[in-house]
Amino acid sequence: MGDMLSAARTRMHRAAENLDLTDELVERLDYPTETLAASIPLRRDDGSLTQLKAWRCRYDATLGPTKGGIRFHETVNQDEVQTLAFLMTMKCALMGLPFGGGKGGVQVDSRELSTMETERVARGWVRAFARIVSPNRDVPAPDVATGEREMAWMVDEYGHLSGSIEPNSFTGKPVALGGIPGRTPATGRGGMIALEAVRDSLGFDGDGGLSIALQGFGNAGTWFAKAAVENGHTIVAVSDSSGLVRHKDGLDIDALIEAKEKEGSVTSFSGDGVETSDDGAAIIEQDCDVLVLAALGGVIGDADDVEKLACKAIVEIANRPILPEADEPLRDAGIDVVPDILANGGGVTISHAEWVQGRTGLGWKDDEVADYLEDKMQDAAQAVRDLMDQSGLDMRTAAYGVALKRICAAVSAAGTVEEFGKG
Ligand SMILES: NC(=O)c1ccc[n+]([C@@H]2O[C@H](COP(=O)([O-])OP(=O)(O)OC[C@H]3O[C@@H](n4cnc5c(N)ncnc54)[C@H](O)[C@@H]3O)[C@@H](O)[C@H]2O)c1
């Protein structure tokens, strides 16, 4: 087992120990059910042939078909794919969705691919893994460097291979091809709903505006920022891969989005009182109420990183931006964390709505999507709060606890040691 998965599982074990869950049920989640590794041949535009490493992991399907994105990234590896599939398992259970967890990846630098090469990689991934993908078995979605267009190619390839039209084999499709309106903003908006739902347990009484520093200004970050401003909060600093921009009285988010769309970076933004720096990593040192991590994994890795923080709470919109080694130093520093499996659960929640839409053949309206997101985020946050109240656990451990209890209940429903042990 890889180091990354091993580290990720420590949080599950912490929850299981605190809640006295039966070992044999939790052990079932120690290893993935199925991981398929493949080599995808890519014919480059210049005629040369390259072999790309690729994976699909179905981590656990106790609660339903496995669900999770496919990322194209030069550093992706089997350990990362399995770790992210493990997190999807916990997230889908916490969000109350009838899905298990999965993840896929191709080890490739997407920036070096032409559009036609990207299409060949997307179709090659489906040819390699079609045997485990299916609307009732394993349902992939976009992730890093994949989006609606890649899903359109993948659904098409899957239809050719299976001999039937199966748009429901993937989510995150373009709306014109069976996608759902509201999927793109769902992760950012869901993160805001989660923050509001737990704000008093983070120590923010009342409903006054909070000062927020935000790392990452892509899909999730921009939609979170818009929702935050609509709710009366102030974004005092934003970073992306180009660097950092800050304004002590709050940034004009619509203008910042426009500048990023036009110039490709937040540091191109200017105006009265706006400061920029090429040191994007300094965002974690920004004095603020809430630091929102919406870019990368492993940003806060240990006690040294925790010492740099000047926030009162953290919201994890990226997957695993805080590593387990930093959990205790954060607790000692009194910094509460809204964990990734809750804070970014809005994305897979609306993927579920898309899957339901595909199964019924009936389209969802914008307000139905928004209501579903609100309800699911509130329900998950409430379940976590209830367990925190009952057990005194921190928010992350309680979130894992809610997920584990649901998975364990489903496993136990097919018989327990007490029943089988009767002989
Ligand atoms: N989009 C979703 O639905 C969704 C769902 C669940 C989790 N997530 C997670 O949220 C994170 C962001 O996803 P996204 O869809 O917004 O991706 P994205 O590619 O749209 O945006 C990523 C952003 O991070 C920035 N970034 C990259 N390196 C950086 C660095 N060193 N410092 C600061 N910023 C940096 C990029 O400039 C960009 O603004 C990822 O970890 C992703 O796995 C996204």
Distance from C-alpha of 414 to C-alpha of 416, rounded to nearest angstrom: 7
pLDDT of res. 207: 86
Segment 17-30, tens digit of pLDDT: 998 888 887 888 99
Identical fold for domains 3-181 and 185-343, yes or no, is yes
Asked if pLDDT for residue 174 goes beyond 80, the answer is yes
Distance (Å) from CA 172 to ligand 1 centroid: 16
Spell out where 30-181 has E strands. Answer: 34-43, 49-60, 66-73, 100-107, 138-142
- In order, the DSSP letters of 319-344 are SS-B-GGGHHHHHHHT-EEE-HHHHT
Tell whether ligand 1 has an atom less than 6 A from the beta carbon of residue 213.
Answer: no
Share of the chain above pLDDT 70, in %: 100
In sign, the C-alpha dihedral spanning 136, 142, 146, 151 is: positive
Determine the average pLDDT of the residues in 294-308.
Answer: 96
Is residue 348 within 8 Å of 324, Cβ to Cβ?
no
Nearest Cα residue to atom 21 of ligand 1: 218
Structure tokens at 141: 């979605």
Determine the average pLDDT of the residues in 188-201.
Answer: 97
Distance from C-alpha of 173 to C-alpha of 176, rounded to nearest angstrom: 8
Task: Residue 417: count other Cβ atoms within 10 Å of its Cβ.
Answer: 11
Nearest Cα residue to atom 5 of ligand 1: 347
pLDDT of res. 2: 83
CATH topology of domain 3-181: Rossmann fold (3.40.50)
Distance from C-alpha of 284 to C-alpha of 340, rounded to nearest angstrom: 17
Query: How distant is the alpha carbon of residue 274 from its chain centre?
Result: 31
Q: Which has the minimum average pLDDT: 46-50, 57-61, 413-417?
A: 413-417
Give the residue among 187, 244, 235, 242 at the shortest CA–CA distance from 213.
235
The three-state secondary structure class of 392 is coil
Assign residue 396 a region (left: φ > 0; alpha: ψ between -120 and 50; beta: otherwise).
alpha
Distance (Å) from CA 318 to ligand 1 centroid: 6
Determine the average pLDDT of the residues in 146-150.
Answer: 95
Determine the average pLDDT of the residues in 242-267.
Answer: 97
pLDDT of res. 390: 95
Residue that has been written with the tokens 């078995």 in this structure:
137
Which stretch of DSSP H or E encloses residue 80? helix 78-94
Tell whether ligand 1 has an atom less than 6 A from the beta carbon of residue 146.
Answer: no
Among 144, 285, 292, the mutation site with the greatest number of ligand 1 atoms within 8 A of its Cβ is 144
Which stretch of DSSP H or E encloses residue 403? helix 395-412
Distance from C-alpha of 331 to C-alpha of 394, rounded to nearest angstrom: 9
Determine the average pLDDT of the residues in 155-179.
Answer: 95
Cα angle 224, 336, 277; round to 5:
55
Asked if pLDDT for residue 422 goes beyond 80, the answer is no
Residue that has been written with the tokens 């509201």 in this structure:
182
Is residue 180 within 8 Å of 339, Cβ to Cβ?
no
Confidence of residue 412 (pLDDT cuts 50, 70, 90): confident
Write down the domain spans for the chain.
Answer: 3-181, 185-343
Which stretch of DSSP H or E encloses residue 235? strand 234-240
Provide the CB-side half-sphere exposure for 101 (13 A, CA). Answer: 26
What phi and psi values does residue 69 have, to the nearest 5 degrees? -80, 175
Segment 277-287, tens digit of pLDDT: 999 999 999 99
Distance (Å) from CA 72 to ligand 1 centroid: 13
Q: Which has the minimum average pLDDT: 7-21, 32-46, 112-126, 383-397?
A: 7-21
Asked if pLDDT for residue 83 goes beyond 90, the answer is yes
Tell whether ligand 1 has an atom less than 6 A from the beta carbon of residue 256.
Answer: no
Segment 209-241, tens digit of pLDDT: 999 999 999 999 999 999 999 999 999 999 999
Determine the average pLDDT of the residues in 368-387.
Answer: 98
Ligand 1 atom nearest to 348, measured from its CA: 5
Distance from C-alpha of 312 to C-alpha of 289, rounded to nearest angstrom: 5
What phi and psi values does residue 409 have, to the nearest 5 degrees? -65, -40
Tell whether ligand 1 has an atom less than 6 A from the beta carbon of residue 324.
Answer: no
Confidence of residue 418 (pLDDT cuts 50, 70, 90): confident
Q: What is the predicted ipTM?
A: 0.99
Distance from C-alpha of 239 to C-alpha of 264, rounded to nearest angstrom: 12
Tell whether ligand 1 has an atom less than 6 A from the beta carbon of residue 231.
Answer: no
Assign residue 29 a region (left: φ > 0; alpha: ψ between -120 and 50; beta: otherwise).
alpha
For the chain, what is the radius of gyration of the CA atoms? Answer: 21
Which stretch of DSSP H or E encloses residue 293? strand 290-293
Nearest Cα residue to atom 41 of ligand 1: 318
**At residue 244, what is the residue type?**
L
User: What residues have CB less than 8 Å from 305, skipping those under 6 apart?
Assistant: 284, 299, 326
The one catalytic residue in 103, 173, 226, 260 is: 103
Determine the average pLDDT of the residues in 88-105.
Answer: 98
pLDDT of res. 50: 98
Ligand 1 atom nearest to 221, measured from its CA: 16
CATH topology of domain 185-343: Rossmann fold (3.40.50)
pLDDT of res. 423: 61
Q: Which has the minimum average pLDDT: 40-44, 163-167, 218-222, 353-357?
A: 163-167
pLDDT of res. 21: 86
Share of the chain above pLDDT 90, in %: 91
pLDDT of res. 82: 98
Tell whether ligand 1 has an atom less than 6 A from the beta carbon of residue 219.
Answer: yes
Tell whether ligand 1 has an atom less than 6 A from the beta carbon of residue 215.
Answer: yes
User: What residues have CB less than 8 Å from 142, skipping those under 6 apart?
Assistant: 69, 70, 148, 150, 151, 172
Distance from C-alpha of 221 to C-alpha of 187, rounded to nearest angstrom: 9
Distance (Å) from CA 229 to ligand 1 centroid: 19
Q: How far is CA 175 from CA 180, 182, 188, 366, in A?
A: 5, 10, 19, 12
Residue 103 among the catalytic residues: yes
Tell whether ligand 1 has an atom less than 6 A from the beta carbon of residue 349.
Answer: no
Annotated binding-site residue numbers for substrate: 67, 91, 351
pLDDT of res. 285: 98
